[in-house]
Amino acid sequence: MPELPEVETIKRGLELVLPGKTIEGVDINYAGSIKAPSCEEFARQLPGLTFTGAGRRGKYLLLCLDDNSLLVVHLRMTGRLFFCESEIETDKHIHLKIIFKDGSRLYFHDVRKFGTIWWLPVSRACEIRGLAALGPEPLSADFDVSYFNSKTDRRSTNIKALLLDQTFVAGLGNIYVDEALHKSGILPTRPAKSLTTPERKKLITSVQEVLLDAISWRGTTFNDYRDAAGMSGQFQNRLSVYQRHHKPCLSCGTFICRTVVAGRGTHFCPSCQS
Ligand SMILES: [Zn+2]
């Protein structure tokens, strides 16, 4: 599933190509992808609008249009959003095609069909419940020890589940939580409230370093993720623990273990993490 670094990479790619593109037409091939408004309204009202920029909040892509509206895209499991200068050969997984006046196109491709798209005025973005409920951005100054303390001390949840909780911090998923916990030397099963202040500081820094490193390598591709130009990421070659079970830890040589924490496959080093 695309996480913050993948969505950020797509956003940066779209930022380079979308501003100034005026919509000529919209082809919807799978109505289930469009959450709001109705498909008819979506296809009728988007033509004539021009993209002005691209943003991101957590794992949500926010594409800005010149009438103060947003095209909000959540890729979920297998969604891809990519731009092409001209028509490409499409398959049955292309659920939405936006055709621009200059002949270029924006495609939404989604094998599992869990991805979701909304078009709404900026002022109504808070009606998207998951978006409105997001915690702070992990790369912002708001994600600090005092915030961490304010949210953890009464909870008995384990640290992995807490980091996956989008209302605690936005944009993390299974890959980067496992990587950040390894980098900070903390076991995923540790109760969040048991973390010492130095551990909390180290974890916040580790989350930020892992995310920035992954963004610089344009995200992680195992199967589905592609950037806005349709290219794979490279961070899968830089992972320390995720999907490395039965391989030696890059820090200490101990074999990486896999277990299930918070309902998710979880990778950790039994020597480096405690
Ligand atoms: Zn190790």
207-251 pLDDT, tens per residue? 999 999 999 999 999 988 999 999 999 999 999 999 999 999 999
Distance (angstroms) between ligand 1 centre and the Cα of 180 equals 13
Residue 170 falls within a domain, yes or no? yes
Asked if residue 155 has pLDDT above 80, the reply is no
Residue 85 falls within a domain, yes or no? yes
Residue 85 annotated in active site: no
Out of 36-40, 101-105, 106-110, 149-153, least confident range:
149-153
Domain termination residue (choose one: 106, 132, 158): 132
Q: Which of 11, 21, 59, 218 is catalytic?
A: 59
247-274 pLDDT, tens per residue? 999 999 999 999 999 999 999 999 999 9
Distance (angstroms) between ligand 1 centre and the Cα of 170 equals 27
d(CA 182, CA 263): 18
DSSP strands (E only) in the chain: 23-28, 34-36, 51-57, 60-65, 69-74, 79-84, 94-100, 105-110, 116-121, 257-261, 264-268
CATH number of residue 243's parent domain: 1.10.8.50
173-201 pLDDT, tens per residue? 999 999 999 999 999 999 999 999 999 99
Distance (angstroms) between ligand 1 centre and the Cα of 21 equals 49
Distance (angstroms) between ligand 1 centre and the Cα of 248 equals 8
74-111 pLDDT, tens per residue? 999 999 999 999 999 889 999 999 999 999 999 999 99
d(CA 183, CA 213): 12
d(CA 252, CA 125): 47
* Domain shared by 115 and 154, yes or no: no
Distance (angstroms) between ligand 1 centre and the Cα of 214 equals 20
Residue 59 annotated in active site: yes
CATH number of residue 72's parent domain: 3.20.190.10
Q: Is 176 helix (H, G, I), strand (E, B) or coil?
A: helix
